[in-house]
Structure 1
């Protein structure tokens, strides 16, 4: 039968809500199962049986609707939970510190709710052991991880900080809260914060809201240490995660001896000065071709000119660096001028010119430089090239945080500083693809072009062997572009075994059946490994566009769980449990070549080069 229960919360609620909350339960056994029911005040709680009689309970499994519990406030749903069976029994009442008579084997997961109620349920669902550690079930772990990965979709970091401070400092509405309950509530908040900081690593370290939040929370903990000495363990954990600095012992933080100045200076965030970051800098040597240079945000004009001069075999004294600004102005950069602004953006489109402002290289001229670049590429060992490409990609991929995919999907049209590493890896994929095309189409002689394509096929195979699917896809797709694949005379000269190998590698890039060939192959690879990022983003976009983010003003948490489940692939790929390190020592000569790729990014120019090599019949 169905039950309507008029229930009053013990939680602190606004006066307008203090007249009661309504919780609709579809199964009377749910009454002893819900954390929200367990924590209710005894007074003012009414159980009302309706006159309508439902069907007798059978052994058949219940529908999803029958297994759902809705919490209502002021006539509106604020939290919808789904009952699921858990393989792992819940903790006993003594471990929970509550009044539960026996452990049950069913739990509740969030279907939808308001941000505040989702967070409240998450905190209530946490369980603490006697050593203040957590021993949660798989569902609680997943809920916490889902929430921390996807909260930017429905609430700002500032709102989350304020909500956590509120839960830490609040006092339960009606009735008394003993010291044990207060300590447990505070420890749950601190555990969530510890998980958040551990998950985000340095991702939010520069966020001003997080800095202020950690300073305030740290202050509150110091205030509570006198009454709750058990919080000392949590203090140490926060110090370790966020580089909080304690100069004195716990006793010195008693109410009689606390120093306000000390607490004001208690937060020392790691990296007070913004660290220099690695970037891919484009330095144009013609109007439609550039050198992609791996450098840092503090680089000056002289360093870039030196690198270009060495790569292009042009005397440094003949070159100048010009920043072309919108709408067409030119700024001549002096040797010690910084190239990047504080926003990690170049001061303009960077061009290296001769001092007479002429181009450094004419791509249509069959000159000695083109002959030298082909000979240089052909002299490199294919395995070493694959190693250098993989090391480069891994440096970027290992710095990607799962939340970057969430920000990229939901904030695509706004420039976000939260997607720097992800955008860098996507940029690298495009550059490697264009680099393959550029190298082949700038090779003037047929026999050397054949050798070059054979070399790229071997490099692609080596990248796959090194579990770098980013570069693998880039090389195969570069060879499959129209400007390269139309070179029939060149492909006819490719030996049969290389054509067979290329065909086998192409099969993995086949998009049919939702990229089944790639997914099966990638799944068999051991971590660490580098995935194909565009497909990962496609999966998340499919979930995002196929499901509403809000239902009746409630956050659709089922959608966010699917997204969190997808972005967790990043974490799984970055782990190295078995010591299968992906990086290897690479040749300095090869590394110097790979760090400065010459790329033509104009498709029309690439096609003109292609037709110049093999004119249309």
Structure 2
């Protein structure tokens, strides 16, 4: 064979890297004495390190048998003692847990710790699987995708074998790298599709593996898998063709879009769906789901149908951030950069008058409220849950990591998560809007009864995110102050509402919610703001780096928390969560009229029941 091109050099030379800090769980005294003798012998042969000591928080995995009775080691260890541990003849096993280290050394330990099944090519250790998953979920915190690609190429192409026996070890190392790449691309495929570094990395890795086939014929199966992954990366729609479950998701989504008057254009993550706000007054808007490439005429058609106004009487105006007004033509794109609209969107009549005045007590508002009263509460809960599942099923665990560590800047990696959070806020405001726009006392009482039943149905359908939003909307000050209205609520509904409220009780760190949610079977939608609060608590309560070493213990806790998303999404199509709802209900729920001005909501509340 001819000479093979060398991979790019790593950012740092291996000789300059610090060893990863490993903490060994305490064993019995006899084993401990034996390990100390072995460590001392090895240390005498090794060169002493002059690096300073450092402190790291104690961290370990909790195995299946439980370790409550074990005594924890001290959290403060010097680099010399760590070098003694690494110099022993014993092999690093599941008795060791990564606490901290440089990114390169953590990756090296991860590859060394993998134990592959000879036939299946999968890991045999639960601890290895957990460590690998922790690393893949949280690596953006401490290294870029480009650095990871460079490091993986370096590990695959490194030549550290000289004889026949070491050649087998080299093959095993290459297969471990390929297994890690396979898991990485499978887990993060949505984020990696547009990354040019990943495309170049996959192309280079395929070339290196093909070159190794002559020397390592056992890589033939790995080559086929790698080539398939490479093709999936190049052609973004190929993944949908290989997954029957994904086909079902896309089909359901396309049907729902057709029924709602919007053209299907692929999956949510690929087509970049957004929640579009079209203001029909200065302080209220219609919330609707639309594609990023939606045109002005499509939005006008939806608004005209929802507000029962002829489309020919309406125009779409974008109020720019500088205060100017831009009249959009029918075929103008509303989102020219596929992420943000040209400005705040307003639908006006051609004389620039408002389509609806929310302060006007007229028959139009009464008919609008009566429309909700005529809908079946279970069907409304089904429509709300189906809407939320479209976004929640697109949320990736890594989105929570990006959201937590990149809070002050927008990220293209958190689109689905931000849409779900936005929807939660909108449902809360929608509940307030519906109640406060109802001028008749008897109908307000019926509305509140409706919302209590809808909340109970959302809980029964395991949509806890929407359940919380409805309860918070009813508990908002502008609604809860309506004493005359609440006095008319029947006792059984007050009792039901009180029982539902207990789940939202924040005392004891939301113990009531956590206990109840834990008992629910998957699939289920958690209360996303509380999940983000848990991750933020871990993030702000623990340092990400200790003396320039990655605090991997913290990252394990974060990964363990975000894995809840994966558990909740499990098999939601097979469990029949996506139920069929009536077209009338869906047409209403998908286009909610919302007042987002708190001052306006309080003024409406004061009009309904003035202060004594």
Check conservation: 1:171, 1:177, Cα contact below 8 A: no
1:555 equivalent among 550, 564, 576: 550
Contact residue 203 and residue 401 of structure 1 kept, 8 A: no
Q: 136, 148, 155: which one pairs with 2:124?
A: 136
1:190 to 178, 181, 188: 178
Q: Is the 8 A contact 2:123 2:129 kept in 1?
A: no
Deviates more, 1:382-391 or 1:172-181: 172-181
**Which of 106, 123, 140 pairs up with 2:111?**
123
Mapping for residues 524-603 of structure 1, pairs under 5 Å: 524-576=519-571, 579-603=574-598
Contact 2:285 2:593 in 1 (8 A): yes
How far residue 444 of structure 1 moved from its aligned partner, in angstroms, is 1.0
Partner of 1:290, secondary structure, is: strand
Residue 278, structure 1, aligned to residue 273, structure 2: yes
SS of 2:194 mapped into structure 1: coil
- Write the distance in 2 (CA, Å) between the matches of 1:281 and 1:33: 66
Map Cα deviations across residues 279-315 of structure 1 (whole Å, 9 max, x no partner): 1100000111000011111210000000000101111
User: What is the RMSD of the two structures over their aligned residues, measured on CA atoms?
Assistant: 3.3
SS in 2 for 1:293: strand
CA contact (8 A) 1:80 1:113 kept: no
Of Structure 1 and Structure 2, the greater helix share is in: 2
User: Distance between the aligned counterparts of 2:139 and 2:608, measured in 1?
Assistant: 54
Q: 2:491 aligns with which of 491, 496, 501?
A: 496
Structural mapping, 1:422-461, within 5 Å: 422-461=417-456
Which sections of structure 1, spanning at least 5 residues, go unmatched?
1-11, 50-59, 84-98, 245-266
User: Whole-Å Cα distance in 2 between the matches of residues 33 and 416 of structure 1?
Assistant: 50
Deviation at 1:63, TM superposition (A): 4.2
User: In structure 2, do the counterparts of structure 1 residues 226 and 412 end up closer, same or farther at CA, with 3 Å as the change threshold?
Assistant: same
The structure whose Rg is larger is 1
Higher relative contact order (CA 8 A, sep 6+): 2
Q: State the match for 2:211 in structure 1.
A: 223
Q: Is the 8 A contact 1:322 1:332 kept in 2?
A: yes
Could you list the per-position Cα deviations for residues 53-81 of structure 1 after superposition, in whole angstroms to 9, with x for gaps in the alignment? xxxxxxx9664139979579xxxx89999
Structure-2 separation of matches of 1:343 and 1:577: 29
Structure 1 window deviating more from structure 2 (161-170 vs 125-134): it is 125-134
Q: CA deviation digits over 1:406-441, x for unaligned, max 9?
A: 000000011100000000000000000000000000
Q: Does 1:514 align with 2:509?
A: yes
How many corresponding residue pairs?
545
Equivalent in the alignment of 1:257: none
Give me the TM-score of the superposition, normalised by structure 2.
Answer: 0.83
- Give how far 1:181 is off: 1.9
**What is the distance in 1 between the residues matched to 2:20 and 2:301?**
72
Distance 1:578 1:600, change over 3 A: closer
Instruction: Spell out the pairing of 1:454-473 with structure 2 (5 A cutoff).
Output: 454-473=449-468
What's the CA shift for 1:129?
Answer: 2.7
| Shift of residue 203, structure 1, vs aligned partner | 2.7
- Does 1:269 find its partner at 2:254? no
- Alpha-carbon distance in structure 2 between the residues aligned to 1:333 and 1:20: 59
**Distance in 2 of aligned mates of 1:492 and 1:19:** 70
Alpha-carbon contact 1:183-1:228 (below 8 Å) kept: yes
Partner SS, residue 483 of structure 1: helix
Contact 1:321 1:350 in 2 (8 A): yes
1:576 Cα deviation (Å)?
2.3
The 8 Å contact of residues 278 and 346 in structure 2, kept in 1 or not, is answered as: yes
Of 202, 207, 210, the match for 2:195: 207
After TM superposition, the score normalised by the length of structure 1 is 0.82
The alpha-carbon distance between structure 1 residues 440 and 213, as it changes in their structure 2 partners (threshold 3 A), is same
Task: Quote how far apart the aligned CAs of 1:175 are.
Answer: 7.8
Runs (4+) of structure 1 exceeding 6 A deviation are: 12-16, 18-26, 31-34, 66-69, 77-81, 173-177
After superposition, the Cα gap between the structure-2 partners of 1:229 and 1:600, relative to the gap in structure 1 and judged at 3 Å, is same
Aligned to 1:457, what secondary structure does the other structure show?
A: helix
Aligned pair partner of 2:384 in 382, 389, 403: 389
